[in-house]
Amino acid sequence: MVERYEPPAIEKKWQARWDEDRLYQVRDEEPRPKWYALTMFPYTSGDLHIGHWYNYAPADVHARYKRMRGFNVLHPMGFDAFGLPAENAAINRGVHPFTWTMQNIENMRRQLKSIGAIYDWDREVITCLPDYYKWTQWFFIKLFENGLAYRGLAPVNWCPRCQVVLANEQVESGRCWRCESDVVRRELEQWLFRITKYADELLDFNGIDWPERIKIMQRNWIGKSSGMEISFGLDHPGVAEKEIKVFTTRPDTVFGVTFMVLAPEHPLVSKITAPEKKKEVGAYVARSQRLTDIERLSTEKEKDGVFTGAYCVNRLNDTKVPIWIADYVLQSYGTGAVMAVPAHDERDFAFALKYGIPIIPVIEPPDGIVKSFAFPDTMKEGFEEELKMSGFEYKAAEIGGQFVTLHDEAQVKKYIQLMKAYLKPDNWNDIIGSPWLFFFSGKTGIETIALDSIESEAEILKRCKAIEPNVRNCRTAVEMLNNCEFYRDRLFHAEYGRMIHSGRFTGNRDGVNAVSAYLEEKGWGRRTVSYRIRDWLISRQRYWGAPIPMIYCEKCGIVPVPEKDLPVLLPETAEFRPTGESPLKYNDSFVNTNCPKCGGPARRETDTIDGFMCSCWYFLRYASPQYEKAAFDPAKVKRWLPVDFYTGGAEHAVMHLLYARFFTKAIQDMGLVDFSEPFTRLFNQGIIISGHQKMSKSRGNVVNPDEYVAELGVDTVRAYMMFIAPWEQGGEWDDSGISGISRWLHRVWDLAVENYHSLNNQEDQELIRLTHQTVKKVTEDIEKIRFNTMVAALMEFSNHLSRMKKAGSVSAVAWQSSLKTLLLLLAPTAPHLAEELWHRYGYQYSIHNQPWPQWDEALVTRDEFTLVVQVNGKVRDRLLVPASTTEVQAMQMAAGSTQVQSYLAGREISKRIYVPGKLVNFVLSKPGVQEGHSPSSPHSPSPSQGEGDKGGEVKP
RNA sequence: GCCGGGAUGGCGGAAUGGCAGACGCAGCGGACUUAAAAUCCGCCGGAGCAAUCCAUGUGGGUUCGACUCCCUCUCCCGGCACCA
């Protein structure tokens, strides 16, 4: 018996050898082209679960492949080491965050080493060490000096559980990204980064190869929308401001403004509120401050608000517009004020209905449908017959009367005539949609009033109430119409269309541009853009982060710490209590300092920097991790950056990935680097879930890879990760298939280790073909990141080898050469096994320094192929034919097939389809006669399946 | 609600306009063994004795031909969620 494959021993042996030989040490200066393959470094949470491995193992396979393809590959690893969990461990268990973090790193480094990756550990980066965070602080000062870091009073997202503020990106559906607590608002003075300055640049993804999905998420997050800032006149005694500015994307609806809504936090609120409304408004403002974002922004929550008692003026039609406040308007977007057009905005519509505010339609519905309800007993005898005769679409209402639907202007015109003729005295009728007309039949005839302004709205309502007691409690005309189900779909729409009821613009179809131009000409507005994205809030009221390197001096104000004094070290001792204030605040020896400018007494900033800033530049540090003179050695960054291939989870789409892009653009503008995008190609691998949930310690569903490694070997685990699904897909962790991979690697071992006895060389050509075919398939699959099919191809290849070995049907030379190729193809996936077998064959150490095998396209193609023969698109025969077969020959052979002939008998071929190298399809003309089929195929081959099974029985 | 992605055997998946189910797991049968494990060989979507038919979430369409392209609907996953 030959030696058995024993992975743990082999793996340990080769890892030690590689380590000793510094096989994976990366040299900066090499003639080979560079390849920077980066994978997102882990947060130091304690240990790596199988989900982490799913990030790292396939990334390493790809990097190893690139290495064999002749690239000088930098594939570094490090630790994202600042963050809340470390401090929470300190609070809960009394371990110092530093100790906790470094212990975790020890363990994680051990696990990472067991992967057998090509990480060059000399380049390890740990963000919580002073030699790293010194430069994080240095970058902060650079941003400050360039006007990109500023201190501001802002309503912030406060997580009551973590006792810390969060950036907008770190709030997920109103909850803290880390602990899922509901976030509340607080007004605090904080440090922010001016990411909004780069909003437009961040929208430009030219030159980078990123998944469409991530680009869309970033675009949505940035949320650029073009519109207008429109000024409404304000004339309030004692108030200096003479206008209220609103932001709108729909200037074409400006004639439909019937109220104005300010955010509760809007600075004008306290100034303009009428004395008798002060109490109510104050209470509303107080309440909205108290609510969490979840409560306040919940779409389930009914829109509510309060009238301030004040008015402004719509300059376009000189209408007085009541000013309300409501918390569905956000102070932080646009101007914090909106012009409400209830006829064409869903929220405004709901709000207006709730508070009885008039609704004036100003845009025609694009479907052109107009409705009218002929109320019971309002029409004279014979009206219905007239409707019928005129061909109108109508339906009898349950309560009597008719629902009439009109489809064009001619119908409307005709209907109006008809209706006027039949309307009984002292009644009214209306047509809704466009035009919007009310017809009142009085003593003197019929009077028509259009619902085109606040005044006419009031007049219409007054008259209706006079006629119909049932509508007396309606506050607006639309509220009255809204009682009728039939009208509902006409009362509100948000589409673009022809303007109506809009003075000089009535009839205009390009309202947005027309109104914009007019407002600009008048000086009442300007075209502008708004962004959803807000500046990045980076202050954290916590200990375990890089201290913000700023000093407050009473005389000199805010002064950055001079570079020579960096890093501002975290004091070793601090009291860790969840107070909501930085533990540094009460550390006198940290806080008290001297002003670098005037030397006088001063205080240090006690907040620390958001950990996401550390990961904004770690990819630069890897280029020269021990460099002491600066954050990075410019020559090395020039050599290695940008990252060629960045892999990691999609959960960072609008956090890390957006921040890192911003940061890179910012330092490019400072002249520190000469590229604008850090990651040329991004690939998001899928997530491994467990029990239908993301793996996390807190959920208690983590799967530890260590046991699999100990039992089956790391090569098996690596290959299994590659095999389970396409990498971008991920999925539920299920180890039931891992035995298949283990068996396969054992088979490969036996294949290579056991002696081969050649009996003949019958299959040499076939083996050569299969070898080249496999090289091609494996290479292309790795390039396309289709690792699962790559492993499948390797399995198929080794299955063929097994068969040939058993048969002894290839020469010893062909066998050796193919096996050598198999090992090379296997090297990235199963590096230890490949190295061991390579060594046993006596080939030169190391297999990982060998070039990737090439394939010869001429040898890949077979000299014969299976020609599929179809009749009416259904496969009826398969013929093995020479590769040189011509179309004519193929047709002849296909037609000659006995299988096929039974389908052709008595039928005419109307079309012959030929796909070279693949198939022939005979299309038959429609069956004329039922007989004429051979008894063996009684079914009609015609595609018409009407008769189904019962028609198929033909007794012989 | 809006924006993405997805649905294929018992399971993971393969096939991106041309042989549906590669490769693997599980299962079944056999060989070896005193026996078991391991290993090896065979079978393995459904119906049918068979010829053959049915089958890629639903319903329609385009095409000689559709898992693949287009439209409708259902369900699942991810993101955003009053952004005016």
Condensed to tens digits (0 to 9), the pLDDT of residues A466-512 reads 999 999 999 999 999 999 889 988 999 998 999 999 999 999 999 99
- Same domain (yes/no): A427, A455: yes
A276 CB below 7 A from strand B atoms: no
Distance from the Cα of residue A889 to its chain's centroid: 53
- Chain A window 158-187: residues with CB closer than 7 Å to nucleic chain B are 168, 171-173
The whole-number Å distance from A298's CA to B81's C1' is 9
Which CATH number characterizes residue A872's domain? Answer: 3.10.20.590
* Protein residue at shortest CA distance from C1' of B79: A217
Residue A213, nucleotide of least CA–C1' distance: B4
What is the predicted pLDDT for the residue at A928? 45
- The string of pLDDT tens digits covering residues A150-193 is 998 877 888 888 888 887 778 887 788 878 888 887 778 899 99
Strand B and A528 CB separated by under 7 Å: no
Query: What residues form DSSP beta bridges with A152?
Result: A190
> Is A213's CB less than 7 Å from nucleic acid strand B?
yes
**Is the Cα dihedral A895, A901, A905, A910 positive or negative?**
negative
Tens digit of each residue's pLDDT (9 = 90 or more) over A746-770 = 999 999 999 999 999 999 999 999 9
- pLDDT (0 to 100) of residue A294: 65
Nucleotide nearest A915 (Cα, C1') = B18
Together in a domain, A331 and A442: no
Give the pLDDT mean for A546-554. Answer: 96
Percent of chain A with pLDDT over 90: 71
Which of chain B's bases lie under 7 Å from a protein CB?
Answer: 3-5, 11-15, 18-20, 22-26, 38-41, 51-54, 64-66, 78-84
Whether CB of A936 is under 7 Å from strand B: the answer is yes
A 539-558, residues with C-beta < 7 Å of strand B: none
Q: Each residue of A869-889: pLDDT tens digit? A: 988 888 888 888 888 888 898
Give the pLDDT confidence score for residue A188 in this predicted structure. Answer: 81
Mean pLDDT for A365-375 is: 90
Where is the domain boundary, A612, A630, A647?
Answer: A612
Residue type, A27: R
Distance from residue A779's CA to nucleotide B2's C1', rounded to whole Å: 41
Boundary residue ending a domain (A355, A378, A413)? A355
Q: Quick one: pLDDT at residue A300? A: 63
Number of domains present in the structure of chain A: 4
CATH of residue A232's domain is 3.90.740.10
Residue A49 belongs to a domain: no
Nucleic strand B under 7 Å from the C-beta of A726: yes
Residue that is last in its domain, among A326, A355, A384: A355
Checking each nucleotide's C1' against the CA of A794, the nearest proves to be B23
Is residue A641, in this structure, part of any structural domain at all?
Answer: no
Strands A687-690, A730-732: parallel, antiparallel or unpaired by DSSP? parallel
Confidence grade of residue A210 (pLDDT, cut at 50, 70, 90): very high
Assess whether A244 and A308 both reside in one domain.
yes
Q: Determine if strand B comes within 7 Å of the CB of A701.
A: no
Cβ density class A511-524: b for 16+ within 10 Å, e for less: bbebbbebbeeeeb
Tell whether A68 is covered by a domain.
no
- Report residue A33's pLDDT band, with 50, 70 and 90 as the boundaries: very high
pLDDT at A583: 87
Instruction: Answer left, alpha or beta for residue A598, where phi above 0 means left and psi between -120 and 50 means alpha.
Output: alpha
Is the CB of A871 less than 7 A from some atom of nucleic acid strand B? no
Asked whether strand B has any atom less than 7 Å from the CB of A904, the reply is no
Closest nucleotide to residue A304 (Cα to C1')?
B82
Same domain, A404 and A462: yes
- Strand order in A874-882's β-sheet? A874-882, A864-871, A919-924, A909-915
Q: Does the pLDDT of residue A356 top 80, yes or no?
A: yes
Segment A612-623 shows an average pLDDT of: 97
Instruction: Let me know whether A344 and A235 are in one domain.
Output: yes
Q: What is the pLDDT of residue A242?
A: 94
Closest nt to A300 (CA→C1')? B82
Q: Tell me, in Å, how far CA of A532 is from C1' of B20?
A: 47
CA torsion sign for A191, A205, A665, A39 is positive
Residue type for A379, please? Answer: M
State how far the Cα of A459 lies from the Cα of A465, in Å rounded to an integer: 10
Q: Are residues A436 and A543 in the same domain?
A: no
ipTM: 0.95
Is the C-beta atom of A386 closer than 7 angstroms to strand B?
no
Q: What range does the domain containing A389 cover?
A: 370-491
Domain contains A304: yes
Report yes or no on A157 lying in a domain: yes
According to the model, what pLDDT value does residue A934 have? 38
> Within a domain: residue A183?
yes
A916 beta carbon < 7 A from strand B?
A: no
Round and report the angstrom distance from CA (A91) to C1' (B84).
44
Nucleotide nearest to A297 (CA to C1'): B82
Mean pLDDT of A420-431: 93
List Cβ neighbours of A677 (8 Å cut-off, separation of 6 or more).
Answer: A207, A208, A642, A661, A664
Sequence-ordered strand ranges (E) for A687-816:
687-690, 693-694, 730-732
Question: For strand B, is any atom closer than 7 Å to the CB of A212?
Answer: yes
Can you tell me the distance from the alpha carbon of A314 to that of A343, in angstroms, rounded to the nearest whole number?
16
**Interatomic separation, CA of residue A756 and C1' of nucleotide B19, rounded (Å):** 35
> Does residue A43 form part of some domain?
no
Query: What's the CA–C1' distance between A788 and B21, in Å?
Result: 16
Mean pLDDT, rounded, for A231-252: 94
Q: Which of residues 770-829 of A touch strand B (CB under 7 A)?
A: 786, 788-789, 791-792, 795-796, 799, 802-803, 806
* CA to C1' distance (Å), from A842 to B1: 66
Mean pLDDT estimate for chain A: 90
Q: Are residues A380 and A343 in the same domain?
A: no
Mark whether A343 and A230 lie in a shared domain: yes
In-domain check, residue A825: no
Whether A481 and A378 share a structural domain: yes
| Three-class SS state of A899 | helix
Cis peptide leading into residue A642 (ω within 30°):
yes
Say if residue A787's pLDDT is above 80. Answer: yes
Least trusted range by pLDDT, from A129-133, A424-428, A459-463, A861-865: A861-865
A326 in contact with nucleic chain B (CB within 7 A): no
Inter-residue contact A400 to A376 (CB < 8 Å): yes
Residue A199 in this model has a pLDDT that exceeds 60: yes
Distances (CA, A) of A589 to A97, A569, A584, A585: 20, 12, 9, 10
Nucleotide nearest to A251 (CA to C1'): B84
CB proximity A131–strand B (7 Å threshold): no
Nearest nucleotide (CA of A4 to C1'):
B38
Alpha-carbon gap, residue A92 to A322, rounded angstroms: 54
What is the band of A933 on the pLDDT scale with cuts at 50, 70, 90?
very low
Residue A943 pLDDT exceeds 50: no
Tens digit of pLDDT for each residue in A82-102?
Answer: 998 898 888 888 899 999 999
Say yes or no: Cβ of A720 under 7 A from any atom of strand B: no
Q: Which of residues 254-273 of A touch strand B (CB under 7 A)?
A: 263
What pLDDT digit, counting tens, does each position of A629-672 carry? 999 999 999 999 999 999 998 888 889 999 999 999 999 999 99
A725 CB-to-strand B distance under 7 Å: yes
Residues A599 and A480 in one domain: no
Closest nucleotide to the alpha carbon of A746, via C1': B39
Q: Do residues A382 and A472 both lie within one domain?
A: yes
With a CB cutoff of 8 Å and minimum separation 6, the contacts of A629 are none
- Clarify whether residues A873 and A914 are in a common domain: yes
